[in-house]
Chains A and B, each alone.
Chain A
Amino acid sequence: MNSLRLVFSFIILLFLSGVSSAEEHTIYVGTEDNPYVFSDASLVISPGDNVTFIWTPGQPHNVAQVESSTSNLFVANGDIVFFYSGDPVDGATWVLNSSYTQDEGTLYYICEPHVGLQMRGQIVIESRPDMTMDFGSFPWLSYLLVFPVIGAIWCFAFRNNPEAHKYIALATTLFTLIISCIVFVRAGSGSGFRLMEEYEWAPNLGVSLLLGVDGISSPLVLLTGIIGPLTVMFSWHEKEKPALFFSLLMIMQTALYGVFITLDYFVFYIFWEVVLIPMFFLIAIWGGENRRYASIKFFIYTFTASVIMLVGFMALYFEAGVNSFSMIDIANNSSGFSREFQIWVFAALFIGFAVKIPSVPWHTWLPDAHVQAPTAGSILLAGVMLKMGLYGLMRAALPPLPIGAEVFVPLMVALAIISIIYGAVLSLGQTDLKKLVAYSSVSHMGVALLGVATMTELGFAGAVFMMFAHGILSPAMFMVAGVLLHQLGTREIPKLGGIAQSQPKTTGLFVVIFMGSLGVPGMAVFVSELSVFIAFFESHGYWLLLPIFGMVLTAGYHLWALQRAIFGELNENVDVEKVHEAPWYEMYPMFILIFIAAFFGIFPHYLMDPISVSSYDILDFMGVV
């Protein structure tokens, strides 16, 4: 127990320590040798960076912006507000915040008392470069792909040992979590792709294993890493073929990482489809009563959509004519795509992605799959797999097809709003907790789709943030359903009720999870909903009332379900003997998820910074901003 606590606190520490937001620069006001200079006197930064001025003790200085390199007077008149550190002081620290460094250009500044000694400097703000590709020196991303597979094989090799497999699974997933954290931290919040790796596979066809992360994929990599150990912990006491179960979980994890980090259409498609196989078996072997129907429906539905997507990928490849399946190369050569071509190809890709999102009317596989899947499968499905659709839309469809996307915006908005309201209304009517969560996923992913459909930086950022937030909170919701199922053998709301007295601590967690999921300020979902709605208001005006109405319903079904299932009079169907506090292996995952959701709800900028930079990149590339 204690060792487990240690490991988790270590991970949280690691998580907190290195996260970088916008890049930081430092200028020393005066040096040891010469107190009347700025060092560096001419600093080159990117837009949005922060600059910290640190006084070297000795002389009183200040920092004041001036109009030109020859001007000697600090003027703060007119519309332009110049920066000014205040009256001269000896020894201080002052931060030039990013609001001054948004636009390209040069900022000149002086030290007022010593301008006669030519104590002046300049900050040059240069535009971000085009889609930069930064090839990393260490293959972090390949490790993400390789380790879970090794873990899976290792786990399966110990299938006759009653205990080993779960420790192997936990160790592997924790290890990949650490790598995910490192990847997230190293990806930072700069523009362009980081940690890139390329391995040739079929150069004649232009296929290579091209890996890389940017601000959109790194949060999802982190999410996949976080969900991994939690699923293992939550199925700690799996009885039926546990080794195979954990192996499939880890193979699934590899495939999900693959989807999020490949930048090659061909390989992307491969990972996209490989995700289906372990999920099919997870539902089919460990699922509920109706698992045979649900697993086949799930497989056929998503496979059909994605083969159409494959035709779209091939069309993109031929039309770009660069003999490369690299997303970057194809996007760079997409300027010649005709309007008609863009519309057709975007339609093909949109079908593939919309089924995975899932957007109404292609959502019907989701409730079946969710209800029948084992809890760990549901967690992976809701937590990570549903994010593939929107991620694919933003990564694979939007950059090369801006006109097609523009044509589809009204459709996307309509589908998103219908998903939000329809999902919420159906959730109100559900009696099965898992089904309720499934429909609430449709509703939440509708919010994310709405964010993408606004075609603004804030909307995109809100959408990706929603993907992350939903990826944290919907697994937590499934855990609630899982805990109730383990204890009482049912998830039917009418058969529950009044169990709060017998398990106060667990109920506390349940309440926080439900609050977080309905969008209480301070939790991650709130941040994303707020950003999406602001962006939507800016782009579509008072149509915003429709999705807002959906939010009212969202609050309604969450609270109503909580009230019926947990609080109130003790239901006569409930066997009080069986109700007890959740065991540690269920309690801790829920607590960790709440912690993460709250953390990013309170400090959203750790995620928002990288996301918005990359969102801007995509929109900039599409020519929208």
Chain B
Amino acid sequence: MDSTVLFLPELILIASILAIPAIYIATNNTKSYSICSNISLFVSLLVVILFWYSPEDVSFDKSSSSYVIYDHFVINDFSQLFKVIFLMSALAVSVISSSYFKEDEPHQAEYYVLLLSSSLGMLITASSNDFLTIFVGIEISAFSSYGLVAFRKTDDKSAEAGAKYLLIGAFSSALTLYGISLLYALTGSITFDGVNAFLTGIDNGVIEGDFNELVFISSLFIIAGLGFKIAVVPFHAWAPDVYEGAPTPVTTLLAAASKAMGFVALFKVFIFTLEPFSDEWRLVLGIIALVSMTIGNLAALSQKDIGRMLAYSSIAQAGYILIAFPALTQDAVSGAIAHTLVHAFMKGGAFIVVAGVGAAGLGYDIESFKGLAKRSQLLALSMTICLLSLVGLPPLAGFISKFLLFYGVLQVGVAGETWIIALVVAGVLNSALSLYYYLNVIRFMYLYDPEESSDVVFSTSIRYTSVLVILFIVIIIPLFYQDLYSLCEAAARDLFA
């Protein structure tokens, strides 16, 4: 069969990106855009899963486990796993958007186009096999996100957040690009395999010369550029403002999928490509991890706005995931992949509830969660589960993934590199610290009465999406965590190949 079929998920998204404007011309019914977007994301998701599990249908040679197209585009367990997560997040966002935005909200067609193209960029990033493709993927996604964040252009906060995000995003892209160009100048190759082969050559003395400083500088640039994308200290300052200002479904996309995309890029560049020069960047990433989990949690303690609080909590979570990079073993990386995936569920789930509360007109302060349990048991329960899972309380999914992460990293520490044990200990102490501000929200939901006794109606689609998220966090992932582990292990194996 033709190999274009491998692009099918991406092609479906492109088709509907083209279709929505056509629908816009044909009808003014805003529901039709969201239906088109939901269907295309769902079909795309189905295609990814289907081709992943029965590759023979697309003349996929499973024995070689990965399928590379002209050195630029790769399809393997790693890419498919993340594509599933991206599409699931985007689908959830698309579903809740239709109830978050009122019928008369202007520019809805553009919204769904941007949402789909942002997802398209993520899919391309997941499959990228060279620096150019990964850059294009990230930029497609980022440019769409700028538009999404500033979607409510009459709202000052939204516009401010959009401008901030655009400026910082452009700056970080420039830094990344500069780092990439240095590497290209040194190695003469743009593909990950080529750069990796060249660096391995230097490392083994096959190629003569001392390029340590050059690689160090270029890796610093790439860390800085991608650090903005995943929002780690000291590149995090935009996140709270953007998370607060953007419409909540967009924040959900940023927190769940965009962050994971940043990590995908980081995995591909550092775990695979720059692996031969790991001594140059391990310590840097270790320090960034330590600082961002600590500062993220400390800053979250005093937040009044739920979006900002969750943004700081995201910064801390990114810090946890980053500790796998200095450890640099397959177990540690599969733990990091697992936590990236589960983080998308937990953070996404939490923001879905925030969207529900916000859409019902209750506001976005932590105070607005007062007495939520009396208004909607389901949303309160869903929020509680997502937050407790973010803490890492057993037996929820967050515990499982955090356990796998710390497990993998500690293994390296016990084997001899003692400074890595410090990272793990800092991680668990930070988890305990984070309990305070998460519990605070839970306390507001359960222990206080609502401030107004008026009846509040929560949107049905948000409630159903919440149920699905709870199902994953409480039942599916903990029960089948052996399978989660094998999936992540297979993905990590692709990275190390």
Chain A residues proximal to chain B, CB less than 8 Å = 201-205, 266, 269-270, 273-274, 276-277, 281, 284-285, 291-292, 295-296, 299-300, 303-304, 307-308, 310-311, 314-315, 318-319
B443 cross-chain contacts in A, Cβ below 8 A: 284, 292, 295-296
Would you call A310 and B436 a contact (CB within 8 A)?
A: no
Flag if B424 contacts A205 (CB, 8 Å). no
List 29 interface pairs A-B (beta carbons < 8 Å), by A numbering: A201-B481, A202-B485, A204-B482, A205-B407, A270-B395, A273-B393, A273-B394, A273-B399, A276-B393, A277-B388, A277-B393, A291-B447, A295-B443, A296-B439, A300-B432, A300-B435, A300-B436, A303-B393, A307-B428, A308-B428, A310-B428, A311-B406, A311-B410, A311-B428, A314-B407, A315-B414, A318-B411, A318-B415, A319-B414
A74 to chain B, nearest CB (A): 62
Contact check, A205 vs B485: say whether CB atoms are below 8 A apart: yes
The residue on A at minimum CB distance from B411 is A318
How far, in whole Å, are A304 and B439 apart by their CA atoms in the complex? 14
The reply to whether B429 and A202 contact each other, CB–CB distance below 8 Å, is no
B486 interfacial by beta-carbon distance below 8 Å: yes
Q: Hey, which chain B residues are within 8 Å of A300, CB to CB?
A: 432, 435-436, 439
C-alpha gap A319/B415 in the complex (Å): 9
Counted as pairs of residues, one from A and one from B, with CB atoms less than 8 Å apart, the total is 79
How many Å from the CB of A276 to the closest CB on chain B? Answer: 8
Task: Determine the main DSSP class of A at the interface with B.
Answer: helix
Interface positions, chain B 362-411, Cβ under 8 Å from A, are: 388, 391-395, 399, 403, 406-407, 410-411
- Nearest B residue to A317 via CB reads B407
Residue B76 at the chain A interface, CB threshold 8 Å: no
The CB with the most chain A CB atoms within 10 A, among B391, B406, B414, B415, is that of B414
A307 contact from B411, B432, B440, Cβ within 8 A:
B432
| B428 CB contacts on chain A under 8 angstroms | 307-308, 310-311
Q: Give the distance to chain B from A315, nearest Cβ to Cβ, in Å.
A: 6
Q: How far is the CA of A285 from the CA of B393 in the complex (A)?
A: 20
CA gap between A494 and B51 in the complex, in Å:
76
In the bound complex, what is the Cα–Cα distance between A273 and B399 (angstroms)? 11
Q: What are the 5 tightest A-B residue pairs by CB atom distance, in nearest-first order?
A: A304-B432, A270-B394, A202-B482, A307-B428, A318-B414
In contact, A205 and B394 (Cβ under 8 angstroms)? no
How many angstroms from the CA of A300 to the CA of B485 in the assembled complex? 29
**Does B178 sit at the interface, judged by CB under 8 A?**
no
Question: Chain B's nearest CB lies how many Å from the CB of A149?
Answer: 13
Pick the residue among A205, A284, A307, A319 that contacts B482 (CB under 8 A): A205
Which A-chain residue is minimally distant from B439 (CB atoms)? A296
Please give the distance in Å from A175's CB to the nearest CB on chain B.
Answer: 25
Which residues of chain B have a CB within 8 Å of any CB of chain A? 388, 391-395, 399, 403, 406-407, 410-411, 414-415, 424-425, 428-429, 431-432, 435-436, 439-440, 443, 446-447, 481-482, 485-486, 489
A307-B432 Cα distance, complex, nearest whole Å: 7
Q: Are A296 and B482 in contact (CB under 8 A)?
A: no
* Pick from A299, A304, A315: contact of B410, CB under 8 Å: A315
Chain A's closest residue to B428 (CB) is A307
Asked if residues A274 and B436 are in contact (CB atoms below 8 Å), the reply is no
- The chain A residue sitting closest to B388, CB to CB, is A277
The answer to whether A311 touches B424 (Cβ under 8 A) is: yes
Is A285 touching B482 in the complex (CB atoms < 8 A)? no
Least Cβ–Cβ distance between A222 and chain B, in angstroms: 26
Closest to B479 in A: A201
> CB distance B486 to A274 under 8 Å?
no
Q: A225 → chain B, closest Cβ, in Å?
A: 23
A204 to B431, CA, bound (A): 26
Residues of B within 8 A of A204 (CB): 482, 485-486, 489
Beyond A204-B482, A308-B428, 10 additional pairs, beta carbon < 8 A = A203-B482, A273-B399, A285-B446, A285-B447, A303-B391, A304-B429, A308-B429, A310-B428, A311-B424, A315-B410
Greatest chain B CB density within 10 A among A270, A285, A292, A295 is at: A270
Bound Cα distance A200, B49 (Å) = 27
Q: How far is the CB of B238 from chain A (nearest CB, A)?
A: 30
Q: In whole angstroms, what is the CA distance A318 to B413 when docked?
A: 10
- Most chain A beta carbons < 10 A, residue from B394, B410, B411, B489: B394
Structural contact, B414 and A274, CB atoms closer than 8 A? no
A284 to B373, CA, bound (A): 14
Chain B residues, CB < 8 A from A281: 446
Residues of A within 8 A of B424 (CB): 311
* A202 touches which of B414, B432, B481 (Cβ 8 Å): B481
A292: chain B residues within 8 A (beta carbon): 443, 447
The distance from the CB of B439 to the nearest CB of chain A, in whole angstroms, is 5
| Bound CA span A203–B483, Å | 11
Name the A residues within 8 Å of B481 (CB-CB): 201-202
B393 — which chain A residues lie within 8 A by C-beta? 273, 276-277, 303
**Closest residue on chain A to residue B412 by CB atoms:** A318
CB neighbours of B489 from chain A (8 A):
204
| A319→B411 CA distance, assembly (Å) | 9
Chain A residues with CB below 8 A from B407, complex form: 205, 314
The distance in angstroms between the C-alpha atoms of A346 and B485, with both chains bound, is 29
> Do A201 and B429 touch across chains, with their CB atoms under 8 A apart?
no
Report which of B392, B403, B431, B436 forms a contact with A296, defined as CB distance below 8 A: B436
Cβ of A382 to closest chain B Cβ, rounded Å = 23
CB <8 Å contact, B410 and A318:
yes
A277 partner residues in chain B, CB cutoff 8 A = 388, 393
Instruction: Chain B residues near A274: list those with CB within 8 A.
Output: 394-395
Name the residue of chain A whose CB is nearest to the CB of B384: A277
Which of chain B's residues have a CB closer than 8 A to the CB of A203?
A: 482
**What separation, in Å, do the CA atoms of A284 and B482 have in the docked complex?**
35
User: Once bound together, how far apart are the Cα atoms of A281 and B446, in whole Å?
Assistant: 9
B99 to chain A, nearest CB (A): 29
Residues of A near B395 (CB, < 8 A) are: 270, 274
Which residues of B lie under 8 Å from residue A308 when comparing CB positions?
425, 428-429
Contact A303 B394 (CB under 8 A): no
A284 / chain B contacts, CB cutoff of 8 Å: 443, 446-447
Nearest chain B residue, comparing its CB with the CB of A321: B414
Chain B residue nearest in CB terms to A276? B393
- Give the shortest distance, in Å, between A257 (CB) and chain B (any CB): 15
Could you tell me the distance in whole angstroms from the C-beta of A110 to the nearest C-beta in chain B?
Answer: 61
Closest chain A CB from B115 CB (angstroms): 36
- Chain B residues with Cβ under 8 A from A295's Cβ? 443
Distance to closest chain A CB from B448 (angstroms): 9
User: Which interface residue of A299, A314, A319 has the most chain B CB atoms within 10 A?
Assistant: A314
CA distance A274 to B393 in the complex (A): 8
Q: Which residues on the B side are within 8 Å of A266 (C-beta)?
A: 403
A314 and B435 in contact, given A201-B482, A204-B486 (Cβ under 8 angstroms): no
A85 → chain B closest CB, angstroms: 59
A607 to chain B, nearest CB (A): 31
**How far, in angstroms, from A233 to B431 measured CA to CA in the complex?**
38
Nearest residue in A to B394 (C-beta to C-beta)?
A270
Q: Are A307 and B429 within 8 A (Cβ)?
A: yes
Q: Which residues of B contact A319 (CB under 8 A)?
A: 414
Q: How many Å lie between the Cα of A266 and that of B436 in the bound state?
A: 24
Considering only CB atoms, which chain B residue lies closest to A205 in the complex?
B485
CA distance A508 to B368 in the complex (A): 52
CB-CB under 8 A from B431, the residues of chain A are 307
A604 to chain B, nearest CB (A): 37
A303 and B485 contact, Cβ closer than 8 Å, known pairs A311-B425, A315-B414, A318-B414: no
CA distance A270 to B394 in the complex (A): 5
By beta carbon, the residue of chain B nearest A309 is B428
Taken together as a complex, chains A and B put the C-alpha atoms of A107 and B206 apart, in Å, by 78
Residues in A neighbouring B399, C-beta threshold 8 A: 270, 273
A319 to B421 CA separation, bound complex (whole angstroms): 14
Taking CB atoms, residues of chain B closer than 8 Å to A304 are: 429, 432, 435
Given the complex of chains A and B, what is the CA–CA distance between A462 and B432 in angstroms? 34
A300–B411 Cα distance when bound, in Å, is 27
Closest residue of chain B to A300 (Cβ to Cβ) is B435
A348 → chain B closest CB, angstroms: 9
